[in-house]
Amino acid sequence: MIVLKRDGVRKVLFDKNKIITAISKAMIEVGDLNKPIAEKIANKIETEYFVNKGIVSVEEIQDAVETELMNEGCNSTAKAYIIYREDHARKRETNNNIIHKVMERIDAKNVENANANVDERSFSGREKEASSDLQKMIALEYNMSYDVAKGHKDGWIYHHDLDKFNIGEHNCLFIDFEKQLRDGFCTRNGDVRPPSTLSTACQQVAVIMQCQSQV
C-alpha cells in the first residue's frame, strides 16, 4: 500500500509502526498506554480499511485511526489524538501561509509600498519586507498573548511596528506631550516640572524624546 503525503506529490510505503507510535503517544498523554490495542488498530487499518485501493492519503489513515480508537472505547485517547492532529494542522497552515507571503515579497508581487521610505521592488526593499512578515508571524503566533494576538488579527486593536515586537524596539514613538508638559515627568535622574515658557517647553520635548528612546 502506498501513502500519499500531504503535499499531494510525495509517496511512501505504508508503515503501520508509525500508527502504533502515534496511538501510543496519545495513550501516554492521557495515562492509558495499551500497546495491544494500538497494534490491533494498526493491523486492522493495514488489512481491512484500504484493501485493493493501492494509494491512500495521510488524512484517510488518520481518520481511520480516530474511528477505531472510538470503536475500541478509547475516547480519551481519541480526543488527545484529535487535538494533536488539529494542532499540527494549524502549525502547517501557519507555515504554509508565511512561506507564501515571504515568496510574494521576494518576487515583488502585490507591491504596496506601505512605507514611503521603502521601495518594495528594490533589493533591500524585498529583503526588508520578507524579514518583516516573518517577524510579524513569530510575534503573533509565539510571543504575544493569545488575547492580544487575536485582537490584532480581528482588527479590534492595532499594534504598530508589529515586526519589532520580538526584540522590544519601535521605530515610531507615541508620546502624550500635552500630559507631559502639563503635569511634568520623571527622568532617570529626577523630576521635571511643567514648563513656564515656550523655549523651556521645546527643550523639554527634546528631553522627553531622548528619555523615551532609552526605555
Residues 6 or more apart in contact with residue 132 via CB below 8 angstroms: 163
Q: 145 versus 169: which is more confidently predicted?
A: 145
pLDDT for 12 beyond 70: yes
Domain ranges of the chain: 2-85, 107-167, 177-213
d(CA 38, CA 20): 5
Task: Write down the mean pLDDT value for the chain.
Answer: 84
Instruction: Quick: pLDDT tens for 102-117.
Output: 787 777 777 777 666 6
| Per-residue model confidence (pLDDT) at position 172 | 60
Given a contact cutoff of 8 angstroms between Cβ atoms, the answer to whether 2 and 54 are in contact is: yes
Q: Is the pTM of this model over 0.75?
A: no
| Per-residue model confidence (pLDDT) at position 169 | 60
Residues 6 or more apart in contact with residue 131 via CB below 8 angstroms: 163
Query: What residue type is assigned to position 152 of the chain?
Result: H
- Across-strand partners of 57? 4
Reported as a pLDDT band with limits 50, 70 and 90, residue 134 is confident
